[in-house]
Amino acid sequence: MPAKEYKNGRVADNREQIEHHIREILRLIGEDVDREGLLDTPARVTRMYEEIFAGYDADTREILGVAFDEKHEELVIVKDIVYYSQCEHHMAPFFGKVHIGYIPSGKIAGLSKFARLVEAVTRRLQVQERITSEIADIIVDVLEPHGCMVVVEGEHLCMCARGVKKPGSKTVTSAVRGLFRTDAPARAEFLALIKD
């Protein structure tokens, strides 16, 4: 995805205000906002927000949109799609991998489209459960497959750095749609194929 066009336009439009508020937060936590190391921090954080919140400007249904008819009606898996998101409860990063499986019923999407979809859904304030179900629901809406299954693995820095402090622990969420709900062998095939 070209980084240039994939940015949050509102962050750019409100750059001065965002920088001001970040500087205020630094001051309020007890920092010397005029020390050298922090002088450019508000501007850097704001530029980072343009990227990590770029998903708000994406039309998630458009991304898979160019689907074409195919005879293939067997399981298609796109696995190990790396994502990086921000937990909406703490505004702390969480990241991991998305695995997608679907059984087409005539429409398929280019494999790179799924990576773009994952970026669009994850570059926002999110919770892992919603990422999982949103990706599944968009695929079901656009491609109308016989079935779709999405598994998301995530490591949450808000869990590692505060509270329970369990570094390295992973959260796994799944969404199951269509025939995967009733077809245990299809579910098992998907789960076996996404294992490393």
Binding residues: 87, 90, 158
Catalytic status, residue 21 = no
CA distances from 185 to 12, 88, 180, 188 (A): 49, 36, 9, 5
**Contacts for 172 with CB less than 8 Å, ≥ 6 apart:** 151, 152, 153, 154
Catalytic status, residue 17 = no
| Shortest spacing between CB 156 and Zn ion, in angstroms | 6
The interface region with Zn ion, picked from 103-111, 139-147, 153-161, 170-178 by CB under 5 A, is 153-161
Give residue number: closest CB to Zn ion: 158
Query: Judged by CB under 5 A, does residue 131 bind Zn ion?
Result: no
Binding residues for Zn(2+): 87, 90, 158
Query: Judged by CB under 5 A, does residue 97 bind Zn ion?
Result: no
Which of positions 101-130 make contact with Zn ion (CB under 5 A)? none
The interface region with Zn ion, picked from 22-30, 81-89, 98-106, 172-180 by CB under 5 A, is 81-89
| Shortest spacing between CB 113 and Zn ion, in angstroms | 29
| Shortest spacing between CB 170 and Zn ion, in angstroms | 14
Q: Which position among 90, 129, 153, 155 bears the catalytic label?
A: 90
The residue assigned the tokens 């990706």 is 135
Give the strand order in the sheet containing 125-126. 125-126, 76-87, 93-103, 147-156, 171-178
Catalytic status, residue 126 = no
Angstrom distance (rounded) from CA 120 to CA 39: 31
Q: Which two tokens stand for residue 124?
A: 């926002």
| Residue 95: closest CA among 134, 56, 131 | 131
The site for Zn ion (CB under 5 A) is made up of 87, 89-90, 158
